[in-house]
Amino acid sequence: MQNPFRNLKLDQQTIVAIIFVAIFTVFSIGLSGFFSVGNLLTLVRSVSVLGILSLGMAIVVIGRGIDLSMIATLAVASAVVLMLAGDGYRPELAVLAGLIFAIAIGMTNGFLVAYAEIPALFTTLAVGIGVAGLGQSGLFEYEIVAWPPELNVIAWIGRGTLFGFPYSIMAFIVTCLAVHLFLRKTRLGLFVYALGDNLDAARNSGIPTRPIIMLQYVLAAVIALIAGLVLSASSSSMDTRIFNLTWIYDVILVVVLGGIGLSGGRGGVMNVVVGTLLIGTIVNGMTIMNVSFEAQKLIKGLVLLAALLSDSILNPRNEETAKQGDI
């Protein structure tokens, strides 16, 4: 049978974008108060942290890795900043210490994956548990670290608005631009695609693959710290228990849903944006409709499943397109 959509090139990003537009339109028509500037800003703001995190994850996934330690990095590195500033260290010193902490986590991940050649899944899972454990073993007085007033000089990244436009959305947009420029306009970014697509070929053509793998994880960790600072500024505290929640799956979901394959070498910033907006729209609409927590989870799961299913129907995999070593 002829595929009627054959000339339309419906890849997963397009499918998700279509679903997003469809849901968005239905909500705009059927849900009073959904389509207003205020609500749309709220919508994007509520997913901006998720979006920022997903950008970090995207870099790693494009390079054919995965970073399960991002939530732990987000929580502990930013809690370190909060704690140091609360203890009287100067804000810039506290942020610097958090940055060094995050980079150290990223380098640990990168070193173990690139040089010790332990699979990324296990490495980052273990490092994440380790980092979270470090946070829980008495580094902080309470698991929920309050935002200290000393750090109010940078509180705008999560709280403030510029002409009514929230800074947290701007943080997302700026991170989007930076990651886009890195991936598409720098040589290092192109190398990430190259080694994600075919590690051996990349190595044979002279790309320094191991340092670039390390760089991916360092970038992911630094982006996680940025997300953590936005999140903690926004809710005035950092709850280091979030490592135990299912956030990391949401992050992977946004990345995969947007169409960045876990097999590496494909996708970009637009995929993350589309995936993030779809999740944000679903959650926002259901909150307005006062749908219960359980039903929200169910509906979210069904929509995501539908998106992934339609992709595998329209773009079937076979021996040619499938690659070995998929996660």
Partner 1 sequence: MNFRKMAMVTAAIATMAIAGAAGAQQSINDPARDDHYAGLKGRKVVFVPVFMGLDLTEGWSEMMSRQAKALGYDYEVRNSNFNTAAGAQTITSLISEKPDVIVVQNPDVQSYARLLKRAEKAGIRVIQLNMKTNILTTGFVGADVIGIGETQANAAVAKCANADTPGKVLILAGPPTSPFSAYMLRGYENILNDNKGIEVVGVQSTGAYESAKAKSITQVVVQQHPDLCGILGVWDNTDIGTAAALSEAGLSDKVFVSSSGGGGELACKGIRENMWQHYVSYDVPGQARDLNALVSAALQDMSEISSTQTILYTPLVEYTPENIDDQFCWTLDNIR
- Interacting residue ranges for partner 1, rule: CB under 8 A: 33, 36, 38-39, 42-43, 45-46, 49, 136, 140-144, 146, 159, 161, 231, 234-237, 239-242, 244-245, 283-284, 287-288, 290, 292-294
Q: What is the per-residue burial (b if ≥16 Cβ within 10 Å, else e) of 69-82?
A: bbbbbbbbbbbbbb
Rounded to the nearest whole angstrom, what is the least distance from the CB of residue 3 to partner 1 in the complex? 40
Identity of the residue, 45 or 266, whose beta carbon is nearer to partner 1 in the bound complex: 45
Rounded to the nearest whole angstrom, what is the least distance from the CB of residue 159 to partner 1 in the complex? 6
Identity of the residue, 144 or 201, whose beta carbon is nearer to partner 1 in the bound complex: 144
Identity of the residue, 218 or 238, whose beta carbon is nearer to partner 1 in the bound complex: 238
Identity of the residue, 40 or 262, whose beta carbon is nearer to partner 1 in the bound complex: 40
